[in-house]
Amino acid sequence: MPRPFTPKVLTANDLLLGDAVWLAPDGSWTRHMSEALLIEDQASADLHLLDAEARGHEVVGPYLADAQSGPHGPEPTHFREAFRTRGPSNRPHGKQQAA
């Protein structure tokens, strides 16, 4: 028996900058998970993933990540995704530079 579907966000890495990005409700890519589209059903998740895989000129490595609704938008439910929201860890630039 398959596991019940849990909410997801679609994430990938920006092709040119390498930053973690998430699919926004308007179909663009955002660098902030809180602005991402929270996907509530398997059929939509599958379609969004197929679309992202066809957008190889924009992003690489798209995948669906578990998420939950939070007060300011989607939030990660796994430490890996929480880590990716903070940006690269090798030196202070990008998201870490603003902190």
Q: How many helices (H) and strands (E) does the chain have?
A: 3, 5
Sequence spans of domains, the chain? 8-88
Given a contact cutoff of 8 angstroms between Cβ atoms, the answer to whether 47 and 60 are in contact is no
pTM, two decimals, is: 0.84
pLDDT tens profile 64-76:
999 999 999 999 9
Residue 32: count other Cβ atoms within 10 Å of its Cβ.
15
pLDDT tens profile 82-99:
888 887 665 555 555 555
pLDDT tens profile 13-52:
999 988 999 999 999 999 999 999 999 999 999 999 999 9
Q: Whose CA is closest to 67, among 48, 87, 82? A: 82
Beta bridge partners of 60: 13
pLDDT of residue 96: 55
